[in-house]
Amino acid sequence: MDFKTKIKLGGITNLADARYAAAAGIDYIGFCFDTNSTNYIAPIKAKEIIDWINGCEIVAEFGDQTIDEIKTISELLKVDLVEINNKILPTDLTSFDNHLIKKINVDDFDLESLKNEIDAYKNNVKMFHLYSSENKQIFEANMIDELCIQNNIIWGFTLNTENIISTLNTYHPYAINVFGGTEEKTGYKDFDELNELLDLISNEI
């Protein structure tokens, strides 16, 4: 399926989500190796899933880990992109062979400092994944729109069937971050909500 924007399915912990992503034509699938996250997956389990999947670019998602830890896991799994979510300095990112995604919690910034943060990293990363851990309303539309025009922004804020079209039309993000279906029982997942969201942004409609 062809979509109006690129899509990243993040925090994958099971083969059902990964197979869904590949079948749906989702661009990026993310595996979280931050041990403090509820979406944490052991690298060996992630490798088992990755070996089954074709067509999606693989993203290794990290938290407050060292450069050596990040490199070790990324090289083991031969991932396409690395998403960092810590205070690694821009100058320390030049040693990475992978394309990089810088994840930024906008709760920690005002607009001016957010622009400065993006400017500091933009020569070393391919994309910026913006999100809010407190589900705050985003800043002025025209300012975020400007950031999206000037940078490859992954939209990590809350998306649903009511706001997805207006979000894409207003901010024009490079990609959106979504999550998999709800596991109703072991081995069975309900993707109805995600299916509805993807249907709305399909270019086939």
**Mean predicted confidence (pLDDT) in 118-125:** 94
Better-predicted residue by pLDDT, 109 or 11: 11
Q: Does 125 map to a domain?
A: yes
Q: Does 83 map to a domain?
A: yes
Write out the residue range of the structural domain in which residue 118 sits: 6-200
pLDDT confidence of 187, banded at 50, 70, 90?
very low
Nearest to 8 by CA among 34, 20, 26: 26
Q: Does 159 map to a domain?
A: yes
Domains: count for the chain: 1
- What does the buried/exposed string (b/e) look like for 164-197 if buried means 16 or more CB atoms within 10 Å of the residue's CB? beebbeebebbbbbbbbbeeeeeeebebeebeeb
Residue 189 reports pLDDT greater than 90: no
**Mean predicted confidence (pLDDT) in 193-199:** 91
What is the distance, to the nearest Å, from the Cα of residue 68 to the centroid of all Cα atoms in its chain? 22
pLDDT in tens, 6-63: 999 999 999 999 999 999 999 999 999 999 999 999 999 999 999 999 999 999 999 9
Per the confidence metrics, is the pTM higher than 0.85? yes
- CATH classification of the domain holding 36: 3.20.20.70
